[in-house]
Chain A
Amino acid sequence: AQSVTQLGSHVSVSEGALVLLRCNYSSSVPPYLFWYVQYPNQGLQLLLKYTTGATLVKGINGFEAEFKKSETSFHLTKPSAHMSDAAEYFCAVSGGGATNKLIFGTGTLLAVQP
């Protein structure tokens, strides 16, 4: 079975500070990992994904994430937070297979203080 744990349901950073959102996964098969962002009253939008190959993945809006198999982690980072980054972020895992369904974490709400 696959699962995702996001540490910290709420994270607050100052504008210009480093953003670090943590995600750990459990998977019995090689995992495919995703980060989605949900802005208020909007649907989920794909930020980035890791499938195979390079373990450092770059996404939209300056975000990136590194797949670390030894630590079963896929933490999301951004060097300098912007007010527009305030949103809820979801980490997800998929084992591929017939349905490619995503198993999501419980989300981290990011607040950016001026």
Chain B
Amino acid sequence: GAGVSQSPSNKVTEKGKDVELRCDPISGHTALYWYRQSLGQGLEFLIYFQGNSAPDKSGLPSDRFSAERTGGSVSTLTIQRTQQEDSAVYLCASSLTGGLFAEAFFGQGTRLTVV
């Protein structure tokens, strides 16, 4: 597609439920990032993929969070047993190579609300 696509755009879930957030990167982009944007907290790095591998998972806040990427393309971020503090906007970005001079393009995000 023309840009990074994320779905759903909004998700309301009950505390304790599992949720899956999807990211479709720009075709041909090998690098993919997940960030979390919370009110007053800026953007927090979660995980980085290069192809289907995740060499940097250092930002995942707990073992309830996991992510995978298949076919070097679509990525899914899964949050198990959601908590209210998980409420945030989850942003996905992709870049051509992940190298320093490769611009990261962001999707519009998924707004997650845990009630």
Contact = CB atoms under 8 A, between A and B. Distances in A.
A53 B21 CA distance: 39
Contacts of A106: 40-42
Interface string B98-110: 1111111111110
Contact of B109 (A32, A43, A46, A98): A43
Interface residues of B, number: 31
A101 B42 contact: no
Contacts of A90: 42-43
Interface string A84-97: 00000010101010
Contacts of B20: none
B61 to A, nearest CB: 15
Majority SS at the chain A contact face? loop
B98 A51 contact: no
Interface in A79-114: 90, 92, 94, 96, 98-107
Contact of A104 (B3, B42, B55, B95): B42
Interface of B: 3-4, 31, 33, 35, 40-45, 48, 50, 55-56, 59, 91, 93, 95, 98-109
The 3 closest A-B CB pairs, nearest first, are A43-B106, A106-B42, A104-B43
